[in-house]
Every structure is written in structure tokens, then in C-alpha cells.
């Protein structure tokens, strides 16, 4: 069955997109190039039309791979990338200055082997640069035909309002899943007020909602090693959520991964999850979530089981929090319910 479509500004895209980060970045050793390329082609075969990458992922390597593999199919896909956070001398740097965004766009166009990027996000808000200046530069890229639409990532409702007053914002991409509910504080409502699509990254809670993580034995360079929710004090408590969660998935007739994605899809037609994976069998499982239907009663029970009160730990550690502009729930001690 073909994937249903959802509106992403001027684009009609598959209801589930593909987050390409995992193929080059963040979760330890990436897969071999041949396997990554095969996964991208399989996503195309299965009807995915929204592919999401960034200059940061693999410090350009992900954009290069996505560009190389998808170039023959460019006319049938919506290509999204991000600027404002890149690798400089082997380190991650947030830089939202207009000159930097213009330069990195040119570099991205070359790596992606395309004449225009459909949706170009400001990956992080640079606290040293007014968001009006950053999106003003992106507006110039729209006018010059380098990009078609502007997005923001990991921003608050207030920042979205400021940016949208300067340039039309097509989409916001923030983390959103059963165990990351911060968008529900204010951002989702603001997106809907302004007619901005919401793209949900890490919809499977960085693998937790697959139901397959029994202990946090992550390899070196896996970003989850620094995340409080995966630290022993919190992870042990969070594991207690999985048995009843698996039971709800069985009741719905789907896998835990599919339940998490179906829950997001049911939250609104303006929400587009972009799960990522390195394995074709997981890709196929994830995309099958588009056919799962959840009744209102089951959704309420899922909501009550996994939410901001029942999940232990913050999503980022203290060192990373200043980089994030999103609203936050009040701090809690590990494992403490509000």
C-alpha cells in the first residue's frame, strides 16, 4: 500500500519521512557505504519522498552520500537539509551569522548535487545572532533560488513567532515522541496558529520505543552515552515502562516501534515523523506504521503510560542544554514523578 501524503508547506510528502543522520553520525560506527546506500534506495522503493540530512551529520559526509544516491530521483523527492551547526576542525560549532549560512548553503548544494534545496533549516539558534538576522539570510537564499522554503530546528514558540514575522517559516523540526513532550507546552499550538508544519525527529525516542533496548550498552561516540535518560539511575526506571508498553502494542496489533509512530501520526495531520535507522528490516517495520489505526481510548492509555511525568531524566545534559531553545518542563530528580 502506498504511503499516505501530508502537506509540508508547498510540498506534498510521504506521511513518514526518513531521517538520514544515523547513516553517518551520532550512534557509534555508521554502516558500510553500500548498506547505507541500499537503505536509501529501499526507502525510495517503499514510497518515502521526504529525506532529511544536515551539514553536521558526518561533517558533510551524509549530505554527500544522500546527494550521490538520490540525484537520479531528485524530481520525485523533497530534500531537506540544515545549516547553522557544522563541523569545524573536527568540532561541532553553532554559527548562525548570515555570511556563514550563505557559504554553507553553497557547500551543501555541491555535496547534495542539486541546484536547489527544498527545505533548509536553521539547525540551532545561535545565541550570539538574532534569529531575525539568520532567517533574513535564509530569505535571501529563497529569493536567489538556492532554497525553496525555510525551517527552524529545536526552537521555542517565541523564537518561531519572531522568525515568522521576518520570513515565512514552512516547518519546525523538534524532537517529539511519547517520552519527549516539550512541543506540547506551546510550540505545537503556535505552529498551528501560523500554519507551520511540525517535523518530529527522534520519534522512537532514540531507540527506546522500539522496545528492544534492555540495557544501555552503547559503543563509543554514541551520543546517548551523555544523555541523562540513558544513565543507569534513570534508564533502569524507564525500562519499567516497556512491559506495559509492549502489551499496548500487542493490543493494537503492531510492534512497539509502529505504536510510537502511529501515536504521532494520530496527533495531527500537520505532524510528519522522520524515523531513522541503519537496517532495511527496521525501515520496513517503521513505514508499515502508516497503516496502523489507534482508537481514542487506546491513545489515552498510551498517553497516560509514557509522558513527561513518568519518564525519568532530561533529554540533554547540563552542558548541552544551553544549545537548545525549546520550552522545558520543570526540573525533576531522576525518577521523580511530578
- In angstroms, the CA 297 to CA 309 distance is 20
Give kind and range of the element (H or E) at residue 94: strand 91-94
C-alpha to C-alpha distances, 168 to 132, 171, 211, 310, nearest whole angstrom: 12, 9, 39, 37
Three-class DSSP category at 119: strand
Enzyme catalytic residues: 57
Calculated CA dihedral for residues 81, 86, 89, 91, nearest 10 degrees: -120
Longest Cα–Cα distance of the chain, Å, equals: 53
Q: Pinpoint the alpha helices (H) of 175-279.
A: 187-194, 232-239, 242-252, 256-266
- In angstroms, the CA 120 to CA 141 distance is 10
338 CB-near residues (< 8 Å, 6+ apart): 308, 309, 329, 330, 332
User: Contacts from 304-308 at CB under 8 Å and sequence distance 24+?
Assistant: 305/241, 305/244, 305/245, 305/248, 306/178, 306/179, 306/209, 306/241, 306/245, 307/178, 307/179, 307/181, 308/181, 308/182, 308/338
Cell 481514542 belongs to 296
Eight-class DSSP state of 248: H
User: Contacts from 330-336 at CB under 8 Å and sequence distance 24+?
Assistant: 334/228, 334/231, 334/233, 334/234, 334/237, 335/233, 335/234, 335/237, 336/312
Amino acid at each position: 500500500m502506498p504511503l499516505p501524503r501530508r502537506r509540508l508547506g508547498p510540498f506534498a510528502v510521504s506521511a513518514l519521512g526518513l531521517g538520514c543522520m544515523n547513516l553517518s553520525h551520532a550512534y557509534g560506527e555508521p554502516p558500510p557505504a553500500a548498506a547505507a546506500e541500499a537503505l536509501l534506495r529501499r526507502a525510495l522503493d517503499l514510497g518515502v519522498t521526504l529525506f532529511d540530512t544536515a551539514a553536521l551529520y558526518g561533517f558533510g559526509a551524509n549530505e554527500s552520500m544522500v546527494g550521490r544516491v538520490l540525484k537520479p530521483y531528485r524530481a520525485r523527492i523533497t530534500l531537506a537539509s540544515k545549516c547553522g551547526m557544522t563541523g569545524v576542525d573536527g568540532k561541532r560549532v553553532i554559527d548562525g551569522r548570515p555570511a556563514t549560512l550563505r557559504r554553507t548553503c553553497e557547500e551543501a548544494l555541491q555535496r547534495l548535487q542539486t541546484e536547489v534545496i527544498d527545505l533548509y533549516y536553521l539547525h540551532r539558534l545561535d545565541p550570539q545572532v538574532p534569529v531575525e538576522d539568520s532567517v533574513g539570510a535564509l530569505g535571501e537564499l529563497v529569493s536567489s533560488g538556492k532554497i525553496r522554503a525555510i525551517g527552524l530546528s529545536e526552537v521555542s514558540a517565541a523564537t518561531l513567532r519572531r522568525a515568522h514575522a521576518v520570513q515565512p517559516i514552512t516547518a519546525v523540526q523538534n524532537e517529539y515522541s511519547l517520552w519527549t513532550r516539550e512541543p506540547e507546552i506551546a510550540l505545537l499550538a503556535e505552529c498551528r496558529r501560523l500554519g507551520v508544519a511540525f517535523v518530529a525527529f527522534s520519534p522512537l525516542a532514540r531507540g527506546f520505543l522500539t522496545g528492544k533496548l534492555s540495557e544501555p550498552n552503547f559503543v563509543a561516540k554514541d551520543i546517548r552515552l551523555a544523555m541523562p535518560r540513558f544513565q543507569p539511575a534513570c534508564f533502569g526506571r524507564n525500562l519499567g515502562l516497556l512491559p506495559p508498553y509492549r502489551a499496548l502494542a500487542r493490543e493494537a496489533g503492531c510492534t512497539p516501534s509502529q505504536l510510537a509512530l502511529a501515536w504521532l501520526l494520530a496527533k495531527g495531520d500537520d505532524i510528519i515523523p522522520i524515523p531513522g535507522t541503519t537496517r532495511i528490516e527496521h525501515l520496513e517495520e517503521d513505514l508499515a506504521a502508516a497503516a496502523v489505526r489507534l482508537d481514542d481510548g487506546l491513545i489515552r492509555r498510551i498517553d497516560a503510560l509514557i509522558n513527561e511525568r513518568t519518564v525519568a531524566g532530561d533529554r540533554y545534559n547540563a552542558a548541552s542544554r544551553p544549545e537548545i531553545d525549546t520550552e522545558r518542563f520543570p526540573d525533576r530528580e531522576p525518577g521523580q514523578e511530578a
